[in-house]
Amino acid sequence: MNETTKRRGIGLLALAVAGALAVALAAAAQPGPPAGAGRGGPFLRALRGGLATVGVTDEQKAKIVAILEAKKDAGQALAAKTRTDAKALRDLANVATPDPTEVGNAFLTLKGDRDAAKAMAEGVLADVKAVLTPEQAAKLDAYLAALKHLRKGAMAGG
């Protein structure tokens, strides 16, 4: 890779990071979540941050709160099950002589929980995007993609 290509790549990376930070700062400057939205985990925090950047109307907010409220109990139950199953896996793996079959089964149970949580989040996102205009949905997608990119960069140590 020559020096010009390196500079161009670094410049594009800096531009992407600056854009993502600008979006994140704009979201942080918005007021808190709508009443009844709950605090939630990383998915809901990211969703609320993204929605703060797209300019939802009061009518859209009411519909989105209704969507989140409808899924709240199922989401909390799934989160509790995931925590319990994760603890069971840790406990099975941390005994003096772990049983590989039990550990494997506990891992697969936890993987199923996580897959169910991902499917639930994708369903909620689809329901929320159905309330938004195409332009708002595109902005939300861009915001979530930027967060995902930043998270991957942080996990890679960059």
Contact (Cβ atoms closer than 8 angstroms) between residue 69 and residue 40? no
Q: What is the pLDDT of residues 92-144, one digit of tens each?
A: 999 999 999 999 999 999 999 999 999 999 999 999 999 999 999 999 999 99
Q: What is the pLDDT of residues 43-73, one digit of tens each?
A: 888 898 899 989 999 999 999 999 999 999 9
Closest residue by Cα to residue 48 from 60, 59, 32, 62: 32
CA atoms lying within 13 Å on the CB side of residue 8: 5
> What CA–CA distance (Å, rounded) separates 92 from 98?
6
What's the confidence (pLDDT) of residue 158? Answer: 52
Closest residue by Cα to residue 54 from 143, 145, 136, 144: 136
* Domains: count for the chain: 1
151 has pLDDT over 50: yes
Q: Which domain holds residue 78?
A: 3-155
Q: What is the pLDDT of residues 4-27, one digit of tens each?
A: 555 554 544 444 444 444 444 344
Of residues 112 and 156, the one with the higher pLDDT is 112
Structure tokens at 55: 């300019």
